[in-house]
Amino acid sequence: MSGRAKNTASSVAAWWPFSRTGTTRRAFSLISHPALFAALLGAVPLFWGSAQPTQAQERRDREPNSVYAARRAKLAAQVDAPVLLWGFTGREESAQAYIFRQEDNFYYLTGHNEEGAGLILLPAARGNRGSVPATTWDGPEEMLFLPPKNPTKEKWNGPRMSPLDPGIQARTGFVSVLPYSEMRATLERLAKLYPTLYTILPYEKENGGYPHEKAVVDWIHTSVPQTNLKDIRSSIGELRQIKSPGEIAFLRQAIELSLDAQLAAMRMMRPGLHEYEIAAKMVEIHAMGGSEAEGYAPIVGAGPNSTMLHYDKLARTIAEGDIVVLDVGAQYSGYSADITRTLPANGKFTSRQREIYEIVLGAQNAALAAIKPGMDYCQKGAKSAYKISYDYINYHGKDLHGKSLGQYFIHGLGHHIGLDVHDPGEYCKPLEPGMVITVEPGIYIPEENLGVRIEDDILITETGSKFLSERLPRDPAEIERIMAEAAAERAKEHQKGDD
């Protein structure tokens, strides 16, 4: 039996009620190896209430090892050469406020959230060697490389896993856990057998992770200069688009915290506050509810700032008559929500603000009614949910010059969410069950200091979609009612203080 079979055969069906059939056809042969089976089975309580000490870098929660192993098995079945990935080193930033967060693709495949780790996967099929004889590699088919124990550093930063820790295989879900120092020698051995290696190749665009990815490629080229490199990014991205039940649970928790924070902002909102005060209250609610970090820099834009998509300076004093866009999302166990509401600063929309708000709400409702498997976010075509939303905006209302409003819808209809708030996903790929996406039409008219965006998180199901953030009001009358009640309560409290 191969090393991968031993690793992934962790009785997925018995341990994890949400696992999908066919993840690995070799899984159930694990029971023929009692010692290994017992070791892996012993790992189950680790993720279901174990009293074992928490490692300093572990997240609030994580999925069972069997889920990460199944993902690695799927990836290995798609390739014809080894896959090599680095986790983040912990030196990506020098700021004192920096808190380590694992590289998303590495975490997706390993569930490991500590610095300085490496991963090598071999192709699943033994004959899948190209021109290389199938019997020439006798090592493990997947290897996790960890830094050595550093007691001095741990006194400052807390405990870390190391390859020599007792039970490290059960904790990580890898049969082969090796010192990081052995990664180069392992790569050199593999390079003699394989002319090609998969890794994540760098590209220069927003959120590309370019310096880290370039460092990995440079290290590979230095270690094995004769090896050709292929990009594995899109293959991992394809897997990440369909969320597991565990991922959906983490996203739901992040969404619920985000809704609580949005409701608190509705009740708190009033002229005279600073944008940063609203953001601070929302972040506090996230953190008090168990959020480890924000999914992205909070956006609270009042008046002219409401027309800037990713405004994050938060410096304006909210004025009477302002409209305020609040795009603030919590992260839970590494998974990020993305929720936006638009509020009248004084609790009452002006007639123009309400007109634009209701057009955006109508565009969102039109898209929501259409979203189901097979639809897409392309800007054109019969299956385009974006076009439905855009057309609604373009055929309703005018700007101050009598022109249609479509020109002020300046971004896409939405995106995938997950480990990254802009998770992998192609706009023109048909939606599939298990995808979690945002639906966020908007109108931004700088001339009027008027920006409106309404954003919600949606799970694609077999028959349609599920509105994950439906608890948060969108109806303008309901928003005004909540804000009026909060203002009345503040007035009562103020009167009590005067008495």
Q: pLDDT by residue (tens digit) across 326-336?
A: 999 999 999 99
Q: How far apart are CA 381 and CA 376, in angstroms?
A: 9
Structural domain span for residue 362: 245-489
Is 386 a residue whose pLDDT tops 50?
Answer: yes
User: 218 and 257: one domain?
Assistant: no
User: Which residue type occupies 414?
Assistant: G
Cβ 14 vs Cβ 27: under 8 Å: no
With a cut of 80, say whether residue 147 has pLDDT above it: yes
Q: How confident is the model at residue 55 (pLDDT cuts 50, 70, 90)?
A: low
Q: Which residue has the higher pLDDT, 12 or 463?
A: 463
User: Residue 14: inside a domain, yes or no?
Assistant: yes
pLDDT per residue as tens digits for the range 248-268:
999 999 999 999 999 999 999
pLDDT for the residue numbered 209: 56
For helices 245-268 and 275-288, the axis angle rounded to 10 degrees is 140
List, as one string, the DSSP characters of 228-246.
Answer: EEEE-HHHHHHHHHS--HH
Give pLDDT tens digits for 112-145.
999 999 999 999 975 544 445 454 888 999 999 9
Range of lowest pLDDT (12-26, 347-361, 373-387)? 12-26
Using N-to-C axis directions, what is the helix angle for 245-268 and 476-498, rounded to 10°? 50
How far from chain centre, in Å, is Cα 289?
18
Looking at the fold, whether 463 and 400 belong to one and the same domain comes out as yes
pLDDT grade for 7, boundaries at 50, 70 and 90: very low
- Where helices occur in 77-209 by DSSP H, the ranges are 104-110, 151-157, 168-172, 183-191
Across the chain, mean pLDDT equals 88
Does pLDDT of 308 surpass 90?
yes
User: Does 222 share its domain with 278?
Assistant: no
Work out the pLDDT band at 21, boundaries 50, 70, 90: very low
Mean pLDDT for 30-38 is: 36
235 located within any domain = yes
What is residue 155's predicted lDDT score, i.e. its pLDDT? 92
Q: Let me know if residue 496 belongs to a domain.
A: no
Q: How confident is the model at residue 58 (pLDDT cuts 50, 70, 90)?
A: confident
Q: How far apart are CA 217 and CA 232, in angstroms?
A: 12
**107 phi and psi, to 5 degrees?**
-65, -40
CATH of the domain at 192: 3.40.350.10
Q: Answer yes or no: do 83 and 205 share one domain.
A: yes
Number of structural domains the chain divides into? 2
What pLDDT is stored for residue 494 in this prediction?
82
Mean local confidence (pLDDT), 160-166: 96
Find, among 330, 290, 349, 324, the residue nearest to 451 by Cα. Answer: 324
